[in-house]
Structure 1
Amino acid sequence: MMPGLKAGFALDARLEADSEPLIWLGLCELRVMNDRRWPWLILVPQRPGIEEVHDLTPLDQAMLTFEVNMSAQTLKRVTGCTKINTGALGNIVRQLHVHVVARNEGDAAWPGPVWGHGLREPYKRDDFHTFAETIRAAL
């Protein structure tokens, strides 16, 4: 069990299939979406049965905000992107998770959302490790 992991927590199978673990932040596990089209992080609060931000305790809500902001600032600094998209949709995967996506004018989905745009393009293993290590070091 990861440090701080609450008993009964299980990661949604779709999140596990589409992303790779990067680092434990405190409340959240930070994961990398395995789609090389966009530098894309996912934060998953390690709390069982949580679907909405307002389902978290006030302290966990504050911690989530801090961890999302830290991840977004790091992603922007590392990638030099022009825009960060942050979202917690949950329409398909109900488990609370927050997407932090680096965007640039002219990218494959610009100016629309990345969700549902084309087919996911997984990283080559070496490219994934390079990106993951760059984010980890910058945090």
Structure 2
Amino acid sequence: MFELDPVLAADTLHVGDLPLCRVLLMNDSQYPWLILVPRRSQAVELTDLDDADYQQYCRESRHVASVMMALYKGQKMNIAALGNVVSQLHIHHVVRFHDDAAWPAPVWGKLPPVRYAKETSQHQLAQLQRVIFEETL
């Protein structure tokens, strides 16, 4: 049975569920930052997914990256699965800009997070839900 890691739950806002992945918004307003979590118990690495799930993850990742770049007009998309703090398989999708707070360094650990204000988070969630879920994968 799938359960979201408590650290991920505490650091993110729930956007919705794609066929395979739970989509989470990182609660850091400095960057457009989504996390895809395949809803498979015990998955730690992408290699833990079977072939069908891996192919579905790739479709979902590509879709999320594409709609995020279009929505935020980013200059670079960073996609990474680190897992050094949270072992549950989760893949970060971060839109980057040449003038963002961490550029050109990675976003991890560079600056403390700046949480979304409630109204801003609601707007972000609604916008993301519209663009991510408006077309079926």
Please give the alpha-carbon distance, in whole angstroms, between the structure 2 residues aligned to 1:135 and 1:70.
12
Q: In the comparison of the two structures, how many residue pairs are matched?
A: 132
Shift of 1:55: 0.6
1:15-65 deviations in Å (ceiling 9; x for gaps): 000001101101001010000000100000000001000011000000001
Find the counterpart in structure 2 of residue 43 from structure 1: 36
| Structure-2-length-normalised TM-score | 0.94
Shift of 1:9: 1.6
Please give the alpha-carbon distance, in whole angstroms, between the structure 2 residues aligned to 1:9 and 1:29.
10
Find the counterpart in structure 1 of residue 83 from structure 2: 90
Which blocks of at least 5 consecutive residues in structure 2 are unaligned?
133-137
Shift of 1:135: 1.3
Q: 2:65 aligns with which of 50, 72, 88?
A: 72
Runs of 4+ in 1 over 4 A off after TM superposition: none
Find the counterpart in structure 1 of residue 47 from structure 2: 54
Find the counterpart in structure 2 of residue 116 from structure 1: 109
Find the counterpart in structure 1 of residue 135 from structure 2: none
1:45-96 deviations in Å (ceiling 9; x for gaps): 0000010000110000000011011000011010011111000111111000
| Structure-1-length-normalised TM-score | 0.93
Which blocks of at least 5 consecutive residues in structure 1 are unaligned?
1-7
- Percent same amino acid among aligned pairs? 37
